[in-house]
Structure 1
Amino acid sequence: MEERSSTNSDTLVRPGSLRELANVAIPLVLSCGSLSIMHVVDRIFLTWWSTDAVAAALPAGMIQWAAMSIAMGMATYVNTFVSQYEGAGQKGRVSESVWQGLYLALIWGGILLLGVPLAGTFFHWIDHAPEVQALEVDYFSILCLGSGPALISTVLSCFYTGRGKTMVVMWVNLASVMLNMVLDYCLIFGAGPFPAMGIKGAAIATVAANVSMLVFYAFVIFAKHEAREYGLFNHYRWNRDLFLRLIRYGFPNGMLYFVDIIGFTLFIVLVGRIGKIELAATTIAFNLNSLAFVPMMGVGTAVMTLVGKRIGEGRPQLAVRTTWKAFAASAVYMLLFAAVYVGLPDLLLRPYEPEVITEDFLEVRHTAVVLLRFAALFSFFDAAVVVFGSAIRGAGDTRFCMIFSLVTGWAIMVIPTFLIWKYADAKLFGSWTACTSYLGVLGIGYLIRFQAGHWKKMRVIEDHFPEPASEDPEPTVEEALT
């Protein structure tokens, strides 16, 4: 009876409709939005603590994310396997996919712990200011301890996002974010029984949030009937074919994450070598841009889920409709943020002001105002990158995304930024021009690939189910948006 009522409620929403997209995307947008607020609050607290702390947090955090990115990309790609098997009606395969992802997460989580002893040597090589360098080592080392729980939580979340059950993910993320923000304040500044630990406290709060998220997912899975319905506790065996297929498609997705984050990490490292003020301003500008960009990742996950489901059903033209609707909504959303970046920069920067405004902070604020104009310029292209990139990856087109991102990232952003840092006078603004150009080319390239339609013939699941369903004719862009 439960399964039947669930199915009936799902059929009330027309496949490919804006309502279907909203049902899947809105909880994910709220979930990712809460994460972006968490990161902003974290950086605000660190700004209040010291300029050195906020300057150290971005490069150390990005390098830790780079170390985890391949594994995270593979863990995230479990979502595509779940969505395509769900579309094909293969519940047992859904559970098997989750278990193969868990095995990957456990292996990679253990490997990432090896980065802790190497942190001091690595950050010494980067050669930021000595006082910043010491804080980077502390922040990176503690974050590495939370890598395993973060990867496992991501795989468990795919059991829900891949089936479009995104409300569960939203509530789990909101609960962990609230815990993180409370611990952030207590551990950075010292409150109640907690000592003031500065940037170490911020890292410990993040690790605690990752562990809590894992605990929340475990509780929900044991408490709800879906685990029994999908035989989640019966399909735990290692499946060699499925495991290798997850690596085949998930590894390029993980490499895409890695290439992307390495490009931006090198960008941040080079900016850090310009000076502490430039690094702090860049940290704040990216932090504020995350208010717009990180919720977009929720839209991307929704698009990947719905495209995967349509591929599993054998109805890729419905995926075209969903993708164009998602892009239209995302473009409007990002352009609104662009207007705020340009029109109200002082309002956005006010929470970062310390109690005693120093000369350093005045320089940081002035520079950040200019950098927010760059963020306004590339925000529209961010929408194209997320939506069209997610659509083609939801079908299985991960190798193209990896190669295209690698070539454009190095050719347009990383190498030009290095040359600008080494030879140009306007180092900071030249570097941000290269970054903006890269995002523009990446967004246009993903759009062209999406329009070419190669992804419609791809799938990550077996070919013998289901038979392609009859479909409407290829929609035009105008038809897809209505």
Structure 2
Amino acid sequence: MPQPLSYRQHLRAVLGLGLPLAGSHLAQFAITLTDAVMLGWYSVEALAAEVLGGTLFFVLFIMGSGFAWAVMPMVARAASSGEEAQVRRVTRMGLWASAIFGLACLPVTLGSATLFLALGQDPGTSALAGDYLVIAGWGILPGLMVMVLKSALAALERTGVVLWVTLAAVALNILVNYALIFGNLGMPELGVRGAAIASVSVNVASILVLAVYVQHSMPEHTMFARLWRPDWEALAQVFRLGWPIGITNLAEVGLFAASSVMMGWLGTLPLAAHGIALQVTSVIFMVHVGLSNAATVRAGQAQGRGDGPGLRAGARVVLAVSGLVALGTVVVFLSVPETLIGLFLSPDDPDRPAVVAIGVMLLAAAALFQVVDAAQVMALGLLRGVQDTRVPMVIAALSYWAVGVPASYVLGFPLGFGGAGIWLGLALGLALAGVFMLWRFWGWSVRAVPV
């Protein structure tokens, strides 16, 4: 029997996995951020169209990512228990499930202009957003496949390549945006369509680079052997684990979408402050997502070895690391909120003082928000690691939609707390999710692994 790891060894393993994964998530977020900044420089109309089209794309993408996230614990468990064939089977069928979902999404993206009009959006913005998604929508196929390979590589502790490929994607996105949005480097000026081409190009380039890396640097896994053959048993396993993850992702994304709608009811300036505060909090959230991925991998490995003590010790370590990051975030949000909000605003903007004042109040609420959000995302990572996804899906849906959204509305409007009330409602929903998911992990899931 191998000797149990010390807490220091668990910490080293968590940071070795989690830091590169956090970096890759931050880099992925930077792609979205650079799209928004560069289209904002081009025109407000193009930015509005990208926000509208990009929101629909992201909702579909985050649902489909459930199959990729399912691959991570399944590969980690199979690799740690010496089931090499299962590593290959699960990864291949993760690619299949993602491709099937991506193809199912194409009619929605290709007909999105009509959908936006039906939802009461401005006709001009709807048409431009439709132009964007007619091109960008095709990127969901390679994009979801990239997620599958990244998940498999993370589970096999090849996190360095995940980080470097994502950083290269950021650079490529900026270059193609510069050329095609504005008509530089001898290319045509395409505006929002240029950003869509950049998005597809980045996803296609990423899947090609990752596929070449897997094929040539990991030949022992023969990941793509007989890729064209269906493996119905493995596909069913990926589907059973993945669809609850996709619904859980959708429930959380929907919570934040509902908060944006409610902030819009308060006016343009509160909505602008809300958008900025979300950008700031999203940067920190990416760190927690990276740590959550590390928790998934480590929990899956422990389950594969039948190592209950290692699972429990690793869970304590990753929760402690995430908690320290959250506490540091609280200090920053409460000490320099004006500086953080001001980074997104021109010094000459006449609305700057009003937006900063609202944003400071929102970041104060976000100080609490970060702690509970860290708890729930870490609990989700641990639960996915032991392949417990259906009950967490129910917990998420009830916490976010039966509690979070109604609480945001009541605190924001009938009780008159405005934007701060909306954010406190978010925090309440996330807090309940965190408490019940942690209870699920410690009270039930962890008992399935031998003591």
Matched-pair contact (CA < 8 Å) for 2:20–2:163: yes
Alignment coverage as a number of residue pairs: 448
Question: Which residue of structure 2 aligns with residue 327 of structure 1?
Answer: 319
Identity percentage of aligned residues: 27
State the TM-score, normalizing by the size of structure 1. 0.84
Matched-pair contact (CA < 8 Å) for 2:180–2:188: yes
Distance 2:415 2:103 in 1: 43
Pick the aligned partner of 1:305 from 286, 297, 301: 297
Matched-pair contact (CA < 8 Å) for 1:396–1:455: no
Distance 2:198 2:137 in 1: 13
Instruction: Specify the code of the residue in structure 2 equivalent to 1:375.
Output: A
Shift of 1:152: 0.8
Bigger mean CA deviation after superposition, 409-418 or 322-331: 409-418
- When residues 82 and 61 of structure 1 are mapped into structure 2, their CA distance, relative to the original with a 3 A threshold, is same
- When residues 304 and 23 of structure 1 are mapped into structure 2, their CA distance, relative to the original with a 3 A threshold, is same
Question: Which residue of structure 1 aligns with residue 108 of structure 2?
Answer: 115
Instruction: Specify the code of the residue in structure 2 equivalent to 1:85.
Output: A
Bigger mean CA deviation after superposition, 273-282 or 154-163: 273-282
Shift of 1:402: 0.3
Summarize deviations over 1:200-236 as a string: whole Å, max 9, x none.
4444333322222111112212221x2x312324353
Instruction: Specify the code of the residue in structure 1 equivalent to 2:149.
Output: L
Distance 1:444 1:14 in 2: 27
User: Is 1:389 paired with 2:380?
Assistant: yes
Shift of 1:337: 2.5
- When residues 359 and 299 of structure 1 are mapped into structure 2, their CA distance, relative to the original with a 3 A threshold, is same
Shift of 1:105: 1.4
Question: Which residue of structure 2 aligns with residue 405 of structure 1?
Answer: 396
Q: Secondary structure at the match of 1:164?
A: coil
1:64-79 maps to which residues of 2 (within 5 A)?
Answer: 64-79=57-72
Summarize deviations over 1:85-139 as a string: whole Å, max 9, x none.
1111011110011111111111111111111243223323443566655555455
Pick the aligned partner of 1:283 from 270, 275, 280: 275
User: Is 1:34 paired with 2:27?
Assistant: yes
1:149-168 maps to which residues of 2 (within 5 A)?
Answer: 149-168=142-161
Distance 1:88 1:98 in 2: 16
Matched-pair contact (CA < 8 Å) for 2:112–2:133: yes
- When residues 77 and 164 of structure 1 are mapped into structure 2, their CA distance, relative to the original with a 3 A threshold, is same
Shift of 1:140: 4.7
Question: Which residue of structure 1 aligns with residue 213 of structure 2?
Answer: 220
Shift of 1:362: 5.1
Question: Which residue of structure 2 aligns with residue 124 of structure 1?
Answer: 117
Matched-pair contact (CA < 8 Å) for 2:334–2:363: yes
Distance 2:387 2:160 in 1: 25
Matched-pair contact (CA < 8 Å) for 1:249–1:396: yes
Distance 1:418 1:32 in 2: 31
State the TM-score, normalizing by the size of structure 2. 0.89
Matched-pair contact (CA < 8 Å) for 1:14–1:20: no
Distance 2:331 2:43 in 1: 30
Distance 2:86 2:313 in 1: 27
- When residues 71 and 344 of structure 1 are mapped into structure 2, their CA distance, relative to the original with a 3 A threshold, is same
Shift of 1:49: 4.4
Instruction: Specify the code of the residue in structure 2 equivalent to 1:346.
Output: E
- When residues 200 and 439 of structure 1 are mapped into structure 2, their CA distance, relative to the original with a 3 A threshold, is farther
Distance 2:125 2:339 in 1: 28
Instruction: Specify the code of the residue in structure 2 equivalent to 1:180.
Output: N
Matched-pair contact (CA < 8 Å) for 1:278–1:367: yes
Summarize deviations over 1:382-434 as a string: whole Å, max 9, x none.
22112121101110110111000000111222234456677565543332221
User: Is 1:23 paired with 2:38?
Assistant: no
Question: Which residue of structure 2 aligns with residue 377 of structure 1?
Answer: 368
Distance 1:361 1:54 in 2: 20
Distance 1:358 1:245 in 2: 54
Instruction: Specify the code of the residue in structure 2 equivalent to 1:429.
Output: A
Pick the aligned partner of 1:436 from 427, 432, 437: 427
- When residues 388 and 420 of structure 1 are mapped into structure 2, their CA distance, relative to the original with a 3 A threshold, is closer
- When residues 342 and 168 of structure 1 are mapped into structure 2, their CA distance, relative to the original with a 3 A threshold, is same
Question: Which residue of structure 1 aligns with residue 439 of structure 2?
Answer: 448
Distance 2:178 2:35 in 1: 8
Shift of 1:314: 0.7
Distance 2:283 2:53 in 1: 20
1:33-432 maps to which residues of 2 (within 5 A)?
Answer: 33-49=26-42, 57-58=50-51, 60-128=53-121, 133=126, 136-224=129-217, 226=218, 228-234=219-225, 236=227, 237-354=229-346, 357-360=348-351, 363-418=354-409, 425-432=416-423
Shift of 1:350: 3.9
Q: Secondary structure at the match of 1:77?
A: helix
- When residues 254 and 347 of structure 1 are mapped into structure 2, their CA distance, relative to the original with a 3 A threshold, is same
- When residues 277 and 185 of structure 1 are mapped into structure 2, their CA distance, relative to the original with a 3 A threshold, is farther
Matched-pair contact (CA < 8 Å) for 1:92–1:231: no
- When residues 341 and 58 of structure 1 are mapped into structure 2, their CA distance, relative to the original with a 3 A threshold, is farther
Q: Which runs of 5+ in 1 are unaligned?
A: 1-10, 459-467, 472-482
Shift of 1:367: 2.7
Bigger mean CA deviation after superposition, 341-350 or 208-217: 341-350
Q: Secondary structure at the match of 1:359?
A: coil
Distance 1:13 1:53 in 2: 53
